[in-house]
Amino acid sequence: MAEFTMELNDEQKGVRDWLHGFAADVIRPAAAEWDEREETPWPVIQEAAKVGIYSLDFYAQQYFDSTGLGIPMAMEELFWGDAGIALSIVGTGLAAVGVLANGTEEQIGTWIPQMYGDVNDVKVAAFCSSEPDAGSDVASIRTRAVYDEAKDEWVINGTKTWATNGGIADVHVVVASVDPELGSKGHASFIVPPATPGLSQGQKFKKHGIRASHTAEVVLDNVRVPGSCLLGGKEKLDERLARARERARKGSVKNAAMATFEASRPAVGAMAVGTARAAYEVALDYAKTREQFGRPIIDNQGVAFQLADMRTRIDAARLLVWRASWMAVNGKPFTAAEGSMSKLFASETAKKVTAQAIQILGGNGYTREYPVERMHRDAAIYTIFEGTSEIQRLVISRTISGMPIR
Ligand SMILES: Cc1cc2nc3c(=O)[nH]c(=O)nc-3n(C[C@H](O)[C@H](O)[C@H](O)COP(=O)(O)OP(=O)(O)OC[C@H]3O[C@@H](n4cnc5c(N)ncnc54)[C@H](O)[C@@H]3O)c2cc1C
């Protein structure tokens, strides 16, 4: 186990500075344009592919960093540049993690490279779990996958919604129910390969923030995929279903999915830290240079103390994110739902800090001449996706109390 330290090592510092340079020189200058266009910033993704940031190798290197800090550090820097563009760059990674976590070695080797495409022809991937009637309540998804034994194919029907990169992705990872009676224990994930008949994009959503990131419905109408597209394989699924049926028969409700969420949520917390830090830096600069009543506005404690609180919250959020990421990589049990805790605190921090930044910039803060209003719109997503703040509180309170709090 790595010795405890609060410092990044030299290699991590090098990666961080390189990412920061890309975020400052390529992402940030493009942010306002793609926010207005509300389109996927393909040229920026391509630029990221050219320098090696948009690639399986880069993502895998950060993912397998033995300190656990590779992913949170990368997320913070990219989202510091701009949340919408950064989500377009890392969205594929979120789908890839679904395959890494559940796929066989062969599936990982076959599908993850296809998710990224190559430098001259970049592709994106989508992870489709949420449905119109199943957001927080993931157990109630209605998308159904039925096995056609004669052809060794799965037939998938349903409608997914709010899918990042949904419909524009080459590879879609789709969560479907294979046994509705088992609730979330009867779910399985499937790869839907490029150009599979029956998969189409439904409505593309116009959004409040992260507008450079594509969010859409995905309609699955008699989509047929080969048996080899079931992540983890049929044998493993059958064993898992048999165990779940046995537990259901005995009335046991152990939740096995929790550890996975606890390990992935800090990454979203790190995105929120990036947005919060970006807004705080703009506000700090502005407060030192904007003069009213013959002196910089930071000379007023009312302004300076806000900045002190902003910075304190951001640093606290980062520490929670790093702790949970370190716990995940070292296999520590999340006995107080520390992953959810980090996501809750960081996302609420981003919303609060970006609102304070607008206030410090006054009229300028409210206009699109300055980036903080965009950052505030972007920050609102963090308390919603990957589990809302209320769901994080539910998970934390159930974990610390052991009670079935509703
Ligand atoms: C921009 C964007 C991108 C997204 N990307 C993806 C993606 O790539 N893939 C994907 O699968 N999904 C994605 N999502 C979906 C996202 O994960 C869901 O929106 C989220 O889980 C919340 O579900 P919901 O919207 O149905 O809200 P609901 O579950 O309907 O919740 C509505 C409100 O009720 C509260 N609430 C619900 N249940 C409880 C409870 N038990 N106790 C207290 N309060 C409760 C919630 O906290 C919330 O405030 C995305 C969403 C957005 C907006």
Residues 6+ apart with CB under 8 A from 314: 273, 276, 277, 280, 349, 353
Q: How far is the centre of ligand 1, averaged over its atoms, from the C-alpha of 393 (Å)?
A: 14
Give residue 125's identity as a one-letter amino acid code. A
What per-residue confidence (pLDDT) applies to 253? 55
- Whether residue 371 lies inside any domain: the answer is yes
Asked if 403 contacts 340 with a C-beta cutoff of 8 angstroms, the reply is no
Q: How far apart are CA 210 and CA 378, in angstroms?
A: 5
Of ligand 1's listed atoms, the one at least distance from the Cα of 91 is 8
Catalytic residue among 36, 262, 386, 390: 386
Tokens of 190: 């499937």
Asked whether residue 308 is assigned to any structural domain, the reply reads yes
- In this predicted structure, what is the pLDDT of residue 1? 57
Residue 256 is predicted with a pLDDT of 43
- Looking at the structure, tell me whether residues 100 and 129 fall in a common domain: no
Cα 157 from Cα 34, distance rounded (Å): 33
Domain-ending residue, one of 193, 218, 234:
234
Residues 301 and 395 in one domain: yes
Cα 153 to ligand 1 centre (Å) = 31
Q: How far is CA 196 from the centre of its chain?
A: 26
Residue matched to tokens 């927080």: 136
Q: What is the model's pLDDT at position 315?
A: 98
Atom of ligand 1 nearest to the CA of 207: 1
Domain boundary among 174, 200, 234: 234
Residue 247 covered by a domain? no
One domain, residues 316 and 222: no
**Ligand 1 proximity of 215 Cβ (cutoff 6 Å):** yes
Which among 164, 173, 388 is the best mutation to test ligand 1's pocket, defined by most ligand atoms within 8 Å of the CB? 388
Q: Could you tell me the CATH number of the domain that includes residue 43?
A: 1.10.540.10
d(CA 164, CA 111): 18
Residues 227 and 262 in one domain: no
Q: Is 385 in the pocket of ligand 1 (CB under 6 A)?
A: yes
pTM of the model: 0.97
Of 38, 130, 165, the residue with max ligand 1 atoms within 8 A of its CB, to mutate for a pocket test, comes to 130
Residue 135 CA to ligand 1 center (angstroms) comes to: 4
**For ligand 1, what atom is nearest to the CA of residue 391?**
47
How many domains in the chain?
3
d(CA 22, CA 77): 9
Task: Tell whether ligand 1 has an atom less than 6 A from the beta carbon of residue 134.
Answer: no
HSE, CB side, 13 Å, CA atoms: give it for residue 128: 39
Nearest CA to ligand 1 atom 27: 135
355 C-alpha to ligand 1 centroid (Å): 22
Shared domain check, 158 and 59 = no
Q: Does residue 253 form part of some domain?
A: no
143 lines ligand 1 (CB under 6 A): no
How far, in Å, from the CA of 188 to the mean position of ligand 1? 20
Domain end marker among 97, 122, 147 = 122
Per-residue tokens: 172: 């879609």
Q: Quick check: CB of 394 below 6 Å from ligand 1? A: yes
Is the residue at 284 inside a domain? yes
Regarding whether 378 and 280 lie in a shared domain, the answer is yes
Ordered per-residue pLDDT tens for the chain, 406 residues: 557 788 899 999 999 999 999 999 999 999 999 999 999 999 999 999 999 999 989 998 998 899 999 999 999 999 999 999 999 999 999 899 889 889 999 999 999 999 999 999 999 999 999 999 999 999 999 999 999 999 999 999 999 999 999 999 999 999 999 999 999 999 999 999 999 999 999 999 999 999 999 999 999 999 999 999 999 999 999 999 999 999 988 886 555 446 778 888 999 999 999 999 999 999 999 999 999 999 999 999 999 999 999 999 999 999 999 999 999 999 999 999 999 999 999 999 999 999 999 999 999 999 999 999 999 999 999 999 999 999 999 999 999 999 999 8
Nearest in space to 339 (alpha carbons), one of 259, 393, 265, 271: 265
Same domain, 188 and 306: no
Cβ 390 under 6 angstroms from ligand 1: yes
Q: Measured in angstroms, how far is the CA atom of residue 385 from the centroid of ligand 1?
A: 6
Give the range of the structural domain holding residue 303, as residue numbers without chain letter.
Answer: 258-401
Q: Where are the beta strands (DSSP E) in 178-307?
A: 187-192, 199-204, 215-226, 291-292, 295-296
Same domain? For 284 and 331 the reply is yes
Q: What is the CATH number of the domain that holds 161?
A: 2.40.110.10
Q: Which of 321, 309, 209, 308 is nearest to 273 (CA)?
A: 321
Active site residue 386: yes
Quick one: pLDDT at residue 101?
A: 86
- Do the domain assignments include residue 251? no
